[in-house]
Amino acid sequence: MAENASDPTRIERDLDQTRSRLGSHLSELQDRISPGQVLGDMMGYFRGSEGAEFGRNAKAVIQDVPRTGDKALRKEVALQGTDITRQPT
């Protein structure tokens, strides 16, 4: 008997192959997004020129916000990497 798309044996085999591929993909993703891997990627970014520039800009922005200003605002601006300057008062 020739196999066709509605053959239960073929469907089961296709499902098993799909589950196997899915399991493999999930394992690979778990390896890529483990906390250690994410931390390593972040450290690599901040060691590079773009990350170093981001860090310098964030530090400058945080230092530029008045000390009496809102800490949450300084933190939010730093996290966004926004390059803002103080307006003269």
* Domain, as residue range, for 20: 7-47
Give the C-alpha separation, 48 to 6, whole Å.
55
Indicate whether 1 belongs to any domain.
no
Q: Based on the domain organization, do 55 and 31 belong to the same domain?
A: no
> Quick one: pLDDT band at residue 81, thresholds 50, 70, 90?
low
> What's residue 41's pLDDT?
82
> What's residue 6's pLDDT?
82
Q: Based on the domain organization, do 60 and 39 belong to the same domain?
A: no
Give the C-alpha separation, 75 to 6, whole Å.
59
Inter-residue contact 10 to 4 (CB < 8 Å)? yes
What are the C-alpha distances in Å from 55 to residues 34, 38, 59? Answer: 24, 18, 6
Q: Based on the domain organization, do 29 and 60 belong to the same domain?
A: no
- Count of structural domains, the chain: 2
- Give per-residue pLDDT as tens, 26-47: 888 887 787 888 888 888 877 7
Residue 11 has pLDDT above 60, yes or no: yes
- Predicted TM-score (pTM) of this structure: 0.35
Mean pLDDT, rounded, for 40-55: 79
